[in-house]
Amino acid sequence: MFCMANTLGSRKLWIYVHLILAAFFMPFLLIMPISGTGYLLDFKGSQEKTEAFRLSTIPTEVGAEQEAFFREEFKKNGIDFDFEYIRGSKTNLIFRPATRVHYTAALEEGGQWVVSQVNPSLMSRLIELHKGHGPRIMRWFEIAFGIALVLTTLSGLWLAWTVKPYRTATIVSFGLGALAIAACMI
How confident is the model over 25-40, as pLDDT tens digits?
899 889 889 999 999 9
Q: Do 32 and 51 lie in a common domain?
A: no
- 32 contacts: CB under 8 Å, gap ≥ 6: 130
DSSP assigned state of 109: T
Q: Do 86 and 59 lie in a common domain?
A: yes
Question: DSSP secondary structure string, 56-67?
Answer: S----STTHHHH
Band of residue 180 on the pLDDT scale cut at 50, 70, 90: very high
pLDDT at 161: 86
pTM score of the predicted model: 0.74
Q: Do 37 and 69 lie in a common domain?
A: no
Q: What is residue 139's three-state secondary structure?
A: helix
For residue 113, the tally of other CB atoms under 10 A from its CB is 18
In a domain, 55, yes or no: yes
Q: Percent of the chain scored above 70 by pLDDT?
A: 96
The domain in which residue 84 lies consists of 47-120
* Average pLDDT taken over every residue of the chain: 89
Q: Do 85 and 104 lie in a common domain?
A: yes
Single out the residue in 72, 95, 120 at which a domain terminates: 120
Question: DSSP secondary structure string, 10-57?
Answer: -HHHHHHHHHHHHHHHHHHHHHHHHHHHHHHTT----EEEEEEEEES-
Chain-centre distance for alpha carbon 147 = 14
Q: Do 109 and 162 lie in a common domain?
A: no
Q: Give the C-alpha separation, 150 to 144, whole Å.
A: 10
In a domain, 94, yes or no: yes
How confident is the model over 46-85, as pLDDT tens digits?
999 999 999 999 998 878 899 999 999 999 999 999 999 9
- 74 contacts: CB under 8 Å, gap ≥ 6: 80, 81, 103
Choose the weakest-confidence range: 92-96, 124-128, 129-133: 129-133
pLDDT at 2: 43
Q: Is the pLDDT of residue 3 over 60?
A: no
Single out the residue in 120, 152, 167 at which a domain terminates: 120
Q: Do 24 and 52 lie in a common domain?
A: no
In a domain, 67, yes or no: yes
Q: Do 22 and 71 lie in a common domain?
A: no
Question: In angstroms, what CA-CA distances link 4 with 7, 10, 155, 161?
Answer: 5, 10, 13, 11
Between residues 85 and 9, the one the model is more confident about: 85
Counting the structural domains of the chain, the total is 2
Q: Do 51 and 116 lie in a common domain?
A: yes
For residue 157, the tally of other CB atoms under 10 A from its CB is 14
